[in-house]
A and B are shown apart, each in its own frame.
Chain A
Amino acid sequence: MSVQFNEKQLTEFNRLVARYPEGKQKSALLPVLHLAQESFGGWLSAESMDYVAELLRIEPIEVYEVATFYSMYNLQPVGKYLFEVCQTGPCMLRGSDDIIAYIGEKLNIKPGQTTEDGMFTLKTVECLGACGYAPMMQLGKHYREHLTKEKVDAIIEECRNNAAVNN
């Protein structure tokens, strides 16, 4: 994948940078890294980070130190569908341990791993602010809440169908 924003992405980049005072373009780093991750395959390669540094006119190290600090930036490739399941107290009280185990069994992977076909990654995460709708996970931009085994089955099915349609 070539590491270069297309025109639409560049427009978004310019919109993000314009929110900050003159000379403070570095402030746009977090949002720009989100944009880069979305645009370049769901993770941040060294190449993508260098490209962001160049665009924002900052040193590459300033980008690396930020990218490694925040948990939402993936520094390794991830599956096409990333299941981020919350495991913190309030979710645990409502059975998140069982849901994590079930997804692992069903996809035959452990948390932190990706299925061999590159389709799914399972990741455990800490409280996502959906404690009242537990157990839950983040999938892409949205949350899937009140998870049950049946719901997990349906979500996996839905992802497989989407992948088939998009291919």
Chain B
Amino acid sequence: MAVKLLLENAHVEGIRYYEAYRRTGGYRSVEKALKMTPEAIVEEVKKSGLRGRGGAGFPAGMKWSFIAKPEGVPRHLVCNADESEPGTFKDRYLMEFLPHLLIEGLIVSSFALGSNATYIYIRGEYAWIPDILEHAIDEAKANGWLGKNILGTGFDCEIYVQRGAGAYICGEETALIESLEGKRGNPRIKPPFPAVKGVWDRPTVVNNVETLAAVVPIINMGGDEYAKIGVGRSTGTKLISACGNINKPGVYEIDMTISVEEFIYSDEYCGGIPNGKKLKACIPGGSSVPILPANLLLKTAKGETRYMNYESLSDGGFATGSMMGSGGFIVLDEDQCVVRNTLTLARFYRHESCGQCSPCREGTGWMEKILKNIEYGKGKMSDIDLLWDIQRKIEGNTICPLGDAAAWPVAAAIRHFRDEFEWHVLNPEESQRRNYGLAHYADAREIVAA
């Protein structure tokens, strides 16, 4: 039976409200943590092995230990609820259905970091969720978990919800900080890192919603126990938002020991592919990570089973592997066109580039244009090499990782599905066909036949 640490009580009636949440053991971690020292809490989080759930997978405890503590300067915790990576909708689920879990995690984390004013920066389109969060905050406050002198410890804490206004780039932590200051979301050059100079030039820690919610079970069970769940450096549980061509799209909590195959085909998770179609490809960690053809998705290049964890998903590097990323799991069935899918992603990154660096601003525009030509039957063979060249020139040459995020999907699509790009060029009148079958994909054919 799968371990559930975050969504265990998601289906308890009324869990969105304080009474049910508290009755099922909510806010215990605050009682426990506020009797500890902030350093001891950071130590537990370190021991847990918790890695940032926003996409980069950076160890949370280590990040916390970097926060500067200059005398007399306030520090801030900022919760990154910008969630805009295509394929990702897990933070929304947590905030919508378990708002108190996030608030509880924020109180403990604020105490550990010494933040008396903590901000949740939520994407503007989630327009109905701030009301849910603010209601939970009011309830927590009315019950003494927030506000002044919490549990008589002398610790004061307020949590505020700030809405963004439509900009993927504001998920990048320094852009988020700019946006929180009421500016355009242009990422800052690092260093200085937010841990030293963040919002209003004060030391700031930015963490993802899921990361901060995971602090609750870590404090409740202890870091060592948490670290026993999962495998290797993929400790604890991970939320996966599954979408695309599957029978049961939705948000699932996994303990990172299950195989990709089980995740796709088991009824407990995605429930297989609709209409008896075959699996063609998958983007396993949000739109920025490399797409994999079915054969490399289910098994690594060495022929070993691939598992749903950080190490296994990236096994083989970019040549034959992908990444866990944000946990946005996008499945493509045999009818789907990789060129078209890549085009929508290229359009997305062009739209979302903040425009500060020329390789990203110009490169994303060109990639979209060329992909559009190929998809609409106006492409040339040399366009495929040109695309490859452009993505290579973006990667690593920009202020923030959005440039890389735009380059990788294009690179992987060409790497694994070059024959499909060529087919578009050779068959311009058919290039917009919807149902391809697996004819062009030797690799996919192999796995499906097996």
- Residues A92 and B249 in contact in the complex (CB < 8 Å), given A66-B182, A141-B127: no
Q: How far is the CA of A29 from the CA of B184 in the complex (A)?
A: 11
Per a CB cutoff under 8 Å, which of B83, B184, B249 touches A69? B184
Q: How far is the CA of A93 from the CA of B333 in the complex (A)?
A: 9
The reply to whether B124 and A131 contact each other, CB–CB distance below 8 Å, is no
Per a CB cutoff under 8 Å, which of A34, A70, A131 touches B167? A70
Q: How far is the CA of A95 from the CA of B17 in the complex (A)?
A: 36
Is A149 on the interface with B (CB-CB < 8 A)?
no
Give a binary string over B121-154; 1 marks a CB under 8 Å from any A CB, 0 the rest. 0011111100000000000000000000000000
Is B41 on the interface with A (CB-CB < 8 A)?
no
Which residues does chain B contribute within 8 Å of A66, judged by CB atoms?
A: 182-184
- A24 nearest CB neighbor, chain B only: B200
Query: Chain A interface: which size bin?
Result: 35 or more
- A25 nearest CB neighbor, chain B only: B182
- A84 nearest CB neighbor, chain B only: B125
Which residues does chain A contribute within 8 Å of B83, judged by CB atoms?
A: 129
The reply to whether B125 and A129 contact each other, CB–CB distance below 8 Å, is yes
Query: Chain B interface: which size bin?
Result: 35 or more
- Residues A132 and B124 in contact in the complex (CB < 8 Å), given A31-B163, A66-B182, A69-B185: no
Is B332 on the interface with A (CB-CB < 8 A)?
yes
Q: In the complex, what's the smallest C-beta–C-beta distance from B85 to chain A, in angstroms?
A: 8
Which residues does chain B contribute within 8 Å of A29, judged by CB atoms?
A: 182-183
Is B336 on the interface with A (CB-CB < 8 A)?
yes
- Residues A30 and B344 in contact in the complex (CB < 8 Å), given A90-B243, A126-B86, A131-B243: no
Is B164 on the interface with A (CB-CB < 8 A)?
yes
Is B408 on the interface with A (CB-CB < 8 A)?
no
Q: In the complex, what's the smallest C-beta–C-beta distance from A101 to chain B, in angstroms?
A: 13
Is B341 on the interface with A (CB-CB < 8 A)?
yes
- Interface contacts (Cβ under 8 Å), in number, total 150
Q: In the complex, what's the smallest C-beta–C-beta distance from A28 to chain B, in angstroms?
A: 7
The reply to whether A131 and B348 contact each other, CB–CB distance below 8 Å, is no
Is A161 on the interface with B (CB-CB < 8 A)?
no
The residue among A29, A128, A138 with the most chain B CB atoms within 10 A of its own CB is A128
Q: How far is the CA of A92 from the CA of B242 in the complex (A)?
A: 15
- A98 nearest CB neighbor, chain B only: B434
Q: B-contacting residues of A (Cβ < 8 Å)?
A: 19, 21, 24, 26-31, 33-34, 56, 58, 62, 65-66, 69-73, 87-90, 92-94, 125-134, 138, 140-142
Q: A-contacting residues of B (Cβ < 8 Å)?
A: 74, 83-89, 91-92, 117, 119, 123-128, 160, 162-168, 179-185, 200, 241-245, 249-251, 283, 287, 328, 330, 332, 336, 340-341, 344-345, 347-348, 351-352, 354
Additional A-B contacts beyond A92-B341, A129-B91 (8; CB < 8 A): A24-B200, A90-B330, A92-B344, A93-B330, A94-B245, A127-B287, A131-B89, A131-B330
The 9 closest A-B pairs by CB, nearest first: A29-B182, A132-B249, A71-B166, A70-B165, A72-B166, A131-B243, A127-B86, A26-B182, A69-B184
28 A-B residue contacts at CB 8 Å? A26-B181, A26-B182, A27-B162, A27-B200, A29-B183, A33-B165, A58-B182, A69-B184, A70-B185, A71-B165, A71-B167, A73-B166, A87-B347, A88-B348, A89-B345, A93-B245, A93-B330, A94-B243, A126-B352, A127-B87, A127-B348, A128-B125, A129-B89, A129-B92, A131-B88, A131-B241, A131-B328, A142-B127
